[in-house]
Amino acid sequence: MKAQRVLLVLAALAVAAGIVRTLACGVGHSAGSDAAKGASLSSGEEDQYYAFLSGGRSGSVFVAGIPSGRLIREIPVFEPRAAYGYASNEGDPRRDELRSSGGLWGDTHQPALSETGGACDGRYLFIDDLANARLGRVRLDTFETDRIARIPNLQGAHGIAVVPPDTRYIVVNGEFEQPTDGAADSPEPYTSVVAFVDPETMETKFEVRVPGNAVMADASRDGRFVFSTISNLEQGRDSISMMQFDRDAVAAIDVPAAEKAAISGKASVRNGVPVLELADSAGVLTLIPVPKNPQGINVTPDGRYAIAAGRLSPTVTVIDARTLQIVAEPEVGPGPLATTFDDRGNAYTSLYVGSEIVEWNIARAVRGASDYVVGRVPVHYNVGSLQATRDASAHPRGEYLLALNTSSKDRYLPVGPETPQNFELIDISGEQMKMLGSFPTLPEPQGVELVAARILAPKVRQTLEPPPDAVQAGHELVVRTGPRSVTVQMTAIHSVFTPDHFEVREGDRVTFRLTNVETMRDRIHGFGLPDHDLHVSLPPGATRTITIDAGRPGVYWYYCTHFCGVLHPEMRGRMIVHPQNAMVALSDWRPAPR
């Protein structure tokens, strides 16, 4: 094995330098008998950053460690996932919430992190659903979705942004323009809205109408302006017609002015939301003409500029974020889609068509110097979004850059007609960018946010506080609550469910109230029930309630679905379902006094 020998040589050199432990990313860092130790990370050597990648049509968020690129978690948001016990059982309130807000599928695009005082506070991750005009909120102490909100009057929720400094609003852009009066056969022009959502109540407070469709969004550092790229000013109804104009626009919305207008009764109210119409938005909405079907809009960390990426123009447009004047329009290469920043005044723009990242100096571009391009690095392939490490939008760190590539072509083993998506990690700490590695991902990251581990990791909870109505050990119960209903209050602790059996009759409705009474980290238990399409996941301290039909007569072994210990195979119990006319005692059950 040639590769193995080569790895050994390399690893031996690495060990000589005493640095093997910082390198364990996967294969290849073995060194004689110390290999096992050397290739492992200890707890003090964890990744520096969390990356939250939207999952696109997976409807979820993927969490990776950076710089290792390891996928460490999927957070389901708009689609049920039984593995996490998320919205997967009929009767689960979260399933009902998904269904009533738009459906059991979603298309996540842009993540955004909550901020306090202009710094990431590690409280929430917000994520949109392009398919069904929704905004999801993920708690970052538990990595679980806790709210889903429908945005009225809007189709195609795409770009989102946090309005600084204290997450005053989450801005959500509508990409799919609609008849302004909402009537299907309206002769009116199609328009869209930018929605301002309260991050706590998740209510849409007001909306600002824009011509064409609103794509990506960012906010000025002082919270004064929200910027949205606007496409299809042509009012095109088909692919070709949408590309006629050489310039579309960036919409700059004056947030205090919009608030004032919305409150003052100037707005029309549609579906309960004040909408500031085009005719009434003087002093609120400014359209800045930029080329052409623009995509990304990104505000520099210092707040001086908003930079629009041309998509169908090889240029980016630099807009003064205070005067709203265009101050430069440098050429960067074919298919610019988004821009991110380091802490040294440089911008990095993704070039979809050129399959590369271009680094350019903002100050040089603004003063018209010809040497504004600092460097280029090829990516594999067709990069969409990108993001450099930062603690918050105003605090770039200038260490790494993630490029989200839409295709990997021949980079990985073939896995059917669809090749994996592919993100790449680039070192931006030096004079020139350096490609560090490639990571296949599940479909399909459309956007990414980063937060330093030192900010977020201390806030993450390892066990949950049992709620007041949790089932307590010794107080388990099977009780017949009606002629056709039974309640089972059950606890789980390795390797026993209590009760470990109970009897019901065909036709009964069975309500489980389950508590994981473990107090140790990572002692998760699952509750799977054969042939009842029922799976519950229970972190330590968690309580879940679910009601099912008893089903056909038989013996059903409920069992733990997490490999929880050496006695895991014994962690099971029986729900015995008797025929309706069976002559059996079906008395209540309580545990023996301890």
- Please say which residue, 418 or 588, places its beta carbon nearer to a copy of itself: 418
d(CA 527, CA 538): 8
Our measurement of the distance from residue 54's CA atom to the centroid of its chain's CA atoms, rounded to an integer in Å, reads: 4
Going by C-alpha positions, the residue among 54, 370, 127, 324 that lies closest to residue 308 is 324
Min dist CB 499 to a copy of itself, Å, is 10
- Please say which residue, 512 or 559, places its beta carbon nearer to a copy of itself: 559
User: Which structure tokens are listed for 447?
Assistant: 């956007």
Min dist CB 259 to a copy of itself, Å, is 29
Min dist CB 288 to a copy of itself, Å, is 20
d(CA 180, CA 171): 20
User: Which structure tokens are listed for 539?
Assistant: 């972190």
Min dist CB 139 to a copy of itself, Å, is 9
Burial of residue 264 (CB within 10 Å: 0-12, 13-18, 19+) is exposed
- Please say which residue, 266 or 501, places its beta carbon nearer to a copy of itself: 501
- Please say which residue, 24 or 324, places its beta carbon nearer to a copy of itself: 24
Helix H or strand E segment including 343:
none
- Please say which residue, 162 or 383, places its beta carbon nearer to a copy of itself: 383
Helix H or strand E segment including 453:
helix 453-456
- Please say which residue, 226 or 337, places its beta carbon nearer to a copy of itself: 337
Min dist CB 409 to a copy of itself, Å, is 6
d(CA 250, CA 343): 25
* Strand-strand pairing, 144-150 and 157-162: unpaired
- Please say which residue, 118 or 314, places its beta carbon nearer to a copy of itself: 314
- Please say which residue, 50 or 227, places its beta carbon nearer to a copy of itself: 50
Min dist CB 9 to a copy of itself, Å, is 6
Burial of residue 240 (CB within 10 Å: 0-12, 13-18, 19+) is exposed
- Please say which residue, 305 or 352, places its beta carbon nearer to a copy of itself: 352
Q: Reduce the DSSP state of residue 379 to 3 states and report it.
A: coil
Going by C-alpha positions, the residue among 526, 523, 524, 522 that lies closest to residue 561 is 526
* Strand-strand pairing, 509-516 and 485-493: parallel
Q: Residue 298 CB: number of other CB atoms within 10 A?
A: 26
- Which residues have CB under 8 Å from 58's CB, separation 6+? 74, 79, 108, 442, 443, 444
Yes or no: say if 276 and 206 are a contact pair by the CB < 8 Å rule.
yes
Min dist CB 266 to a copy of itself, Å, is 26
Min dist CB 525 to a copy of itself, Å, is 11
| Inter-CA distances, 43 with 34, 46, 141, 241, Å | 18, 6, 19, 56
- Please say which residue, 233 or 564, places its beta carbon nearer to a copy of itself: 564
Min dist CB 193 to a copy of itself, Å, is 14
| Inter-CA distances, 499 with 455, 477, 489, 553, Å | 42, 8, 8, 19
- Please say which residue, 123 or 532, places its beta carbon nearer to a copy of itself: 532
Min dist CB 590 to a copy of itself, Å, is 17
Min dist CB 536 to a copy of itself, Å, is 10
- Please say which residue, 68 or 220, places its beta carbon nearer to a copy of itself: 68
- Please say which residue, 185 or 371, places its beta carbon nearer to a copy of itself: 185
- Which residues have CB under 8 Å from 44's CB, separation 6+? none
Min dist CB 497 to a copy of itself, Å, is 9
| Inter-CA distances, 303 with 225, 299, 428, Å | 11, 6, 21
Going by C-alpha positions, the residue among 49, 22, 20 that lies closest to residue 35 is 20
- Please say which residue, 202 or 312, places its beta carbon nearer to a copy of itself: 312
Peptide bond connecting 274 to the previous residue in cis, omega within 30 degrees of 0: no
User: Which structure tokens are listed for 372?
Assistant: 């504004």
Burial of residue 213 (CB within 10 Å: 0-12, 13-18, 19+) is buried
Min dist CB 333 to a copy of itself, Å, is 12
Place of tokens 């970052």: 140
Min dist CB 407 to a copy of itself, Å, is 6
End-to-end CA distance of the chain: 61
